[in-house]
Amino acid sequence: MSRLASFLALLLLGIAFAGSPARAGDGATAPGAGAGGNARAGDGGVAWSNLAPGQQDVLAGLRGQWDTLPPERQARLAAGASRWAAMPPGQRALAQDRFQRWKGMPPEDKARLREQFRQFQQLPPDEKARLRQNFDRFRDLTPEQRQQLRKRWESLTPAQREKLREQRMKRHGGPRPGGPRPPPG
């Protein structure tokens, strides 16, 4: 996978999960979890019977093993199922396409993207916003403009690319997220 595609996938993951109530350890509870007797007795999990019908439909493949899942995973899955049930059909199709691409990635690419996502999540809010803005600008380019940008980047020598990175650091006050990139191989 190209570095550009990796970066874009990272941004998509970051945008998709930014503000998500389903992140582990953020203190949020999924629908059907939490106070009021909705949790499975004793472990803080979500009882299958307490899931909304839409959540049960989305999670039907996990019904047989639901009670064996860790409570945190149950909460994340329940929250994800709620978001899925609320998505418009076009957004669902896009999410399914992205999931299929993820499943087809080699483990090394998945590990790299997870690390890039972790680094993105640790950025200050203003840097995240700047990256999202740049991603939006890139996404708004026509396919021809994207191809021209790629060709222009690929035509640069390693020294020219490094000079651009240094200029970026001066303009934006620091290195790119994740540190310097290794030279292209």
C-alpha–C-alpha distance, residues 97 and 159, integer Å: 37
In the predicted structure, residue 34 carries a pLDDT above the cut 50: no
165 vs 151, more confident:
151
Q: What is the pLDDT of residue 37?
A: 35
Residue pLDDT, tens place only, 74-89: 999 999 999 998 999 9
Q: What does pTM read for this prediction?
A: 0.50
pLDDT band at 166 (very low <50, low <70, confident <90, very high): confident
Long-range contacts of 101-107 (CB under 8 A, 24+ apart): 105/1
Domain segments of the chain as ranges: 20-121
